[in-house]
Chain A
Amino acid sequence: MLSVRIPLYLNPGPGMKLRQYLKKRIVPEAIDRQVDRMRKVTGSLGHDPWGFQEDAAKIGMTLVRPIHDYWFRVDSRGEERVPDEGPVLLVANHSGQLPLDGLMIGYTLANRAQNPRLPRAMIERFFPTVPWLGNLLNQVGAVLGDPANCARMLENGEAVIIFPEGIRGSGKPYRERYQLKRFGSGFMRLAMEHNATVVPVGVVGCEETMPAFGNVRPLARWLGVPYVPVAAPVVLPSRVLLRFGEPMHFQPDPEMTEETMARHVDRVRNAISDLIDQGLSERERVF
């Protein structure tokens, strides 16, 4: 009797089967081991409170690899500067309409030979309302961009990718490429409160992946999305350069005024600006 019951119990159902099937069929052993090396705080079934799922992350990494290696031919330098453990804020410029810059930074660190880390990307607030996509992003480690979430992540000693420009950066038209928009100061507050290392990252090349020439505001409002770019509906294969800067530390100070805070934010912004200039001067051709 028992022999009949066990197979039935072990039947994980169609959705879990698909994930297990994909993991078995497409995930190479190297990626399987690479993700296992990164310690994550997960529950008994491999999930964390934000929806991260180990097997989904392995499948995601497998699918991103050809995009990283062959479509964008990412050239990264300085990723070894990101501390091996402890809370880290990876602060980068945002561009290219789609959050591909976050994906490339995340993959680069996860693929690092020495002490790989799977950073968590803070995503726009409208993503969780989009069916399938919202869940998918959560499963591979992206998190709703809420300060409370970021604070918890840093408490857990995670590396977090932040774009302080937000949609001001990603949604800007092509004519404003490589111009840094206003930086929010929330990340600085969090870095100080949680004693997190700030690593500035300059992203070059994502601006050219989807050049936009305008924004259809009424349509964006109607769809409930931040912007609808007037752009070719393809992601162009431009070369992407990632430049990781020197880690920065900011001491918490309860007496800190907004002005001092803004000066600290400017230091990070200037560092990113320098890294972008470095990337642009090192870039030999766009595609």
Chain B
Amino acid sequence: MSDSVENRPTLLVTGAGGALAQQVIQRLRADYRVVAVDFREEVWLGPDVDSYRVDFQKRGFEDLFRRYRFDGVVHLGRIMSSQGTRMSRYNANVLGTDRLLSLSDRYGVRRVIVLSTYHVYGANAFNPALIDESYPLKSAGLSMDLVDSVELENLATIYLWRNPELNITILRPCNIVGPGVRNTISNLLASRNAPVMAGFSPMMQFIHSEDMARAIETAYRQPHTGIFNVAPQDWVDYRDALEACGCRPIPVPSIPPALPRTLLRALNMRRFPPYLMDFFKYPVIIDGRQFAQRFQFEPERRLETIFRYYRELRYQS
């Protein structure tokens, strides 16, 4: 076999424990020698994928760069806004990414994909719809708990301009949902009852994790650098989404605004963190057309398919 694993270009994928990363690896393993890392666990992904449990801050991480001489990095590993403490998220997401990018620069990496989130725009009553990539990142000003998301992006943007040879593409997807996805919105859609802010049902966008994996693959294989929103041209409001998934909305009192915040802080629900509350109150609708045009990308799975998965999941359980 001339095309042995060792002869292929090497690719580092972070966050390998997540469903999205595994789908990305599945799509790229035929053409690349994939090295998967995760800070939570060592994930077995088959004999052709070397997998490690690493902390980006530890010295051992650099050894991987020395050993594999990566050609590309797909950075999907991050502590989500609903996990960990503010400080641990900052350390892992911001300082960890800084180390990853500086090592990538030092060891001659030539292509980097960074997964960001639409949360960076911040949920605000005055957001226009179809926010494009140049819209200010208001999230940091609205909640201290989302500062790490914005900082991670700012850092990646600095590298994007300062180190053009890294060829960085930053992707800001809408809500990623689908089998195995364990983020806040996916857990809510999968639950029997989900909180809603009484009197509010913001418009939302959803992308299936398989489509998102394809978007990442497509981005990695093409040379266009820059910052791109990734979202389908389809919209639904939160309550309709819950109901389409067969989930019962449980209203949380929403006025005065201090009341739900106090209530959610007191309850301290993992699946409905108080600082994400505004994302269930005000819409953050992003415009994914630039990515769609530049990379010739079109999501394949419609909202109906996504919601049917969650309905079936509930029926099976």
Binding site for B on A (CB under 8 A): 5, 8-9, 11-16, 43-45, 47-51, 53, 125, 128-135, 138, 143-144, 146, 148-149, 152
Contact = CB atoms under 8 A, between A and B. Distances in A.
A12 B245 CA distance: 8
B200 to A, nearest CB: 6
Given A9-B246, A45-B303, A144-B126, 6 more contacts: A8-B315, A9-B311, A128-B126, A128-B282, A131-B199, A146-B128
Interface string B281-309: 01101000000000000000011100010
A15 B246 CA distance: 11
Interface stretch (B97-105, B176-184, B232-240): B232-240
A128 B123 CA distance: 12
Given A45-B303, A146-B126, A13 B242 contact: yes
B243 interface: yes
A48 B128 contact: no
A191 to B, nearest CB: 18
B125 interface: yes
Contacts of B64: none
A132 B235 contact: no
A14 B234 CA distance: 23
13 contacts: A8-B311, A9-B311, A13-B242, A15-B240, A43-B233, A43-B234, A44-B302, A45-B303, A47-B236, A49-B203, A131-B197, A131-B199, A134-B199
A45 B240 contact: yes
B18 interface: no
Interface stretch (B84-92, B147-155, B247-255): B247-255
Given A9-B308, A43-B303, A14 B129 contact: no
Contacts of A130: 199
A134 B254 CA distance: 13
Contact of B235 (A11, A12, A16, A47): A47
B198 interface: yes
B136 to A, nearest CB: 12
Nearest to B234: A43
Nearest to A147: B128
